[in-house]
Amino acid sequence: MQQLRDILYGVNLIQVIGSTDVAIEAIVFDSRKATANTVFVAIKGFTVDGHNYISKAIELGCTSIICEAIPTETSEGVNYIQVKDSHQALALMANNFYDEPSKKLTLVGITGTNGKTTCTTLLHKLFTQLGYKVGLLSTVVNKIGDKEIPSTHTTPDAVGLNALLAQMVEEGCTHCFMEVSSHAIHQHRTTGLDFKVGGFTNITHDHLDYHKTFKEYINVKKSFFDHLSKEAFAITNLDDKNGAVMLQNTKAKKLSYSLKSVSDFKAKVLENQFTGLVLNMNGTELWSRLIGDFNAYNLLLVYAIAITLEEDELEVLTQLSTLESVDGRFQYTKSESGIIAIVDYAHTPDALANVLGTINNIRTKNETVFTVVGCGGDRDKTKRPLMAGIACENSDKVVITSDNPRTENPETIIEEMMTGVEGQHYKKTLSITNRKEAIKTAISMAQPNDIILIAGKGHETYQEINGVKHDFDDMAITKELFKKLDK
Ligand SMILES: CC(=O)N[C@H]1[C@@H](OP(=O)(O)OP(=O)(O)OC[C@H]2O[C@@H](n3ccc(=O)[nH]c3=O)[C@H](O)[C@@H]2O)O[C@H](CO)[C@@H](O)[C@@H]1O[C@H](C)C(=O)N[C@@H](C)C(=O)N[C@H](CCC(=O)O)C(=O)O
Ligand SMILES: Nc1ncnc2c1ncn2[C@@H]1O[C@H](COP(=O)(O)OP(=O)(O)OP(=O)(O)O)[C@@H](O)[C@H]1O
Ligand SMILES: N[C@H](CCC[C@H](N)C(=O)O)C(=O)O
Ligand SMILES: [Mg+2]
């Protein structure tokens, strides 16, 4: 049990009605989880206002409420603490409640539109191989050492986040590598954390449903660096148009990486094939199994962070060259007959164009490029025709199929995708609703050296149809089909 007054340390208080001398067992921000020994933080959300649920929390026995506005009718025996910003209060309280776990390990945060999962996962693998027990907070999975904890968000909520960091500390982790999403920065999920390193990958148009303008999206990402301490390191990508802007107002020690301009950490792509990359990494040759130009940036940022954290350069380079691709991120496999398959999580028009751009960059012009792609149900419908159009423009043959139909009719989704296929592209397009059949068909049509991109589901291990998650793993299915083919 902790005293409420102690966990309010650093929070901008406006007024206290009642007392802060109360023992607290947990912080909750969902009234449904409130009990007698919890403090309920009322948050104005996008769907509802948590302030409307204060009375519900009290009904469940809660006697301490943090809010931005004191209710007009207050209850006897309840402590109301008015704060300027509930989101911020929640994060600072969570930090205090768990005794500032971020200060007890080396916390590294990666932000940017693309590459966060890849870089944090590579860092987790690298530091594990360097002999440390380390934590990972990512879109795909959270990890404490090798122990996996399912992940629901790219960046967990402030309470869950500090709880996981505390668990990492307790279980002996020396470092934690985490993805910092723009939503998380905006919602103060990472406020108050003591980052030792902040890394920036890149920024392109994304999440504009949330951030409204690109300028606002840039400013939100930049505010992560604005809040780093002067003891921290901020590492940016100078090849990104907005890379320098990110560090404009940071107090942290500024570092940069680039493939194209003068910077603290430099790399050059010497070879870029489906078998991997050969890079000149700050003067030393490095072979990597990761594929595509963009992975040169990811490897360079990972290297820069390891060197900044004073790891031995030779050891870092040796271990880096053993790392394999991250699940569902440009993941490569090849049949015995020589058909290449790439599984990638690209589920937006921009990501699909990027992945196909990378494939077309590496291919020699003799092979056929197949794309197997679908779009998720109950999600943005405007992307459907765009993704089909992009698949057709950038590949030789396209199999339009299902992703996670969720509650929608998969055939309707496919029809909507097909509206984006222009007349001259019809003859290269097939539609097969069953995703496994679609992959099988592409494989049956492919010749040795042809390339099949299976896009949209990446690391996902299920296909959600009408509320039921059926086992489904693009890579496992592809390998199984390859095996049958090779028999
Ligand atoms: C848009 C967004 O980020 N929404 C997040 C937000 O939800 P919200 O604002 O809609 O919450 P709300 O339903 O209006 O409720 C407001 C408050 O009232 C409370 N409430 C509600 C009902 C009730 O009976 N009692 C009660 O107390 C809620 O617990 C909440 O505190 O706050 C919730 C609680 O923390 C989050 O779970 C939720 O994430 C949703 C599920 C989500 O999908 N978020 C995505 C967009 C997201 O965060 N993505 C990024 C990465 C994206 C990427 O890079 O691809 C991520 O970091 O995962
Ligand atoms: N540095 C990069 N630049 C551009 N594209 C990248 C980069 N790294 C990975 N990608 C591609 O972008 C997609 C997303 O990669 P990744 O999952 O690492 O990014 P993320 O930032 O974690 O995304 P999310 O917002 O989904 O969490 C993948 O399709 C991958 O192939
Ligand atoms: N986390 C995102 C990714 C979707 C990936 C794609 N496979 C789909 O189901 O649409 C979402 O749920 O919108
Ligand atoms: Mg991610």
Segment 17-54, tens digit of pLDDT: 999 999 999 999 999 999 999 999 999 999 999 999 99
Give the pTM. 0.93
Q: Which atom of ligand 1 is nearest to the CA of 46?
A: 9
Looking at 278, 296, 320, which one is the last position of a domain? 320
Looking at 58, 73, 96, which one is the last position of a domain? 96
Segment 181-212, tens digit of pLDDT: 999 999 999 999 999 999 999 998 766 677 77
3-state secondary structure of 420: coil
Looking at 320, 341, 358, which one is the last position of a domain? 320
Assigned domain for 424 exists: yes
Segment 333-371, tens digit of pLDDT: 999 999 999 999 999 998 999 999 999 999 988 999 999
Per the CB < 8 A criterion, the answer to whether 168 and 146 are in contact is no
168 and 192 assigned to the same domain: yes
Q: Which atom of ligand 2 is nearest to the CA of 355?
A: 31
Token pair listed for 317:
């380079």
pLDDT of residue 206: 66
91 and 121 assigned to the same domain: no
Nearest residue CA, atom 2 of ligand 3?
A: 347
69 and 105 assigned to the same domain: no
Token pair listed for 91:
């994060």
Residues in the annotated binding site for meso-2,6-diaminopimelate? 379, 403-406, 456, 460
Assigned domain for 326 exists: no
Residue 456: pLDDT above 90?
yes
Question: Residue 351: which CATH number?
Answer: 3.90.190.20
369 and 229 assigned to the same domain: no
Question: Residue 55: which CATH number?
Answer: 3.40.1390.10
Structural domain including 43 reads 2-96
Token pair listed for 11:
């929070």
Residues in the annotated binding site? 31, 112-118, 154-155, 181, 187, 189, 379, 403-406, 456, 460
Q: How far is the CA of 457 from the centre of ligand 3 (A)?
A: 7
What mean pLDDT is reported for the chain?
Answer: 96
On the 0-12 / 13-18 / 19+ scale of CB atoms within 10 A, 226 is: middle
Q: How far is the CA of 400 from the centre of ligand 3 (A)?
A: 17
Assigned domain for 457 exists: yes
Q: Which atom of ligand 1 is nearest to the CA of 44?
A: 16
Instruction: Answer whether 404 contacts ligand 3 (Cβ < 6 A).
Output: yes
The ipTM is 0.95
121 and 107 assigned to the same domain: yes
Domain tally, the chain? 3
Q: How many CB atoms lie within 10 A of CB 124?
A: 26
Per the CB < 8 A criterion, the answer to whether 138 and 117 are in contact is yes
291 and 374 assigned to the same domain: no
Instruction: Name residues contacting ligand 1 (CB within 6 A).
Output: 29-32, 43, 45-48, 50, 53, 153-155, 157, 181, 183-184
Helices then strands, counting H and E runs in the chain, come out as 16, 26
